[in-house]
Amino acid sequence: DAKTTQPNSMESNEEEPVHLPCNHSTISGTDYIHWYRQLPSQGPEYVIHGLTSNVNNRMASLAIAEDRKSSTLILHRATLRDAAVYYCILRKLDRPGNQFYFGTGTSLTVIP
């Protein structure tokens, strides 16, 4: 299974930027990097995804290292509603079902 490594937990002050790291040293050239987040007792929610270039959307930015062995999810101004578990997932293009295999994720605490 495609392996990602994330810190178990992180804290951030409200309205400050948050950088959530993810290591994926076994990534292959065609693997997409997806980020989802999960609030307690809910299903995961899509945040962002990318392949090689940095990506921005209304929720966050994704910075991908040049060698693609790591990436960072950036929340520009953390709010209390951003407190969740954030999962970094590799989607392998050569896998017929394009399944997601979730790692342990990072539990983000936002301090008011």
Site residues for another protein per CB under 8 A: 32, 34, 36, 38, 41-46, 49, 87, 91, 97-105
Query: Does residue 24 contact residue 33 with C-beta atoms inside 8 Å?
Result: yes
Under a CB-based contact definition with an 8 Å cutoff, are residues 73 and 62 in contact? Answer: yes
Q: Whose Cβ is closer to another protein: residue 26's or residue 98's? A: 98
Min dist CB 84 to another protein, Å, is 13
Burial 38-76 (b: 16+ CB within 10 A, else e): beeeeebeebbebeeeebeeeebbbbbeeebebbbbebe
Q: C-beta of 45: minimal distance to another protein in Å?
A: 7
CB of 19 vs another protein, minimal distance in Å: 21
Smaller CB distance to another protein: residue 5 or 13? 5
Identify which of residues 29 and 112 has a Cβ nearer to another protein in the complex: 29
86, amino acid identity:
Y
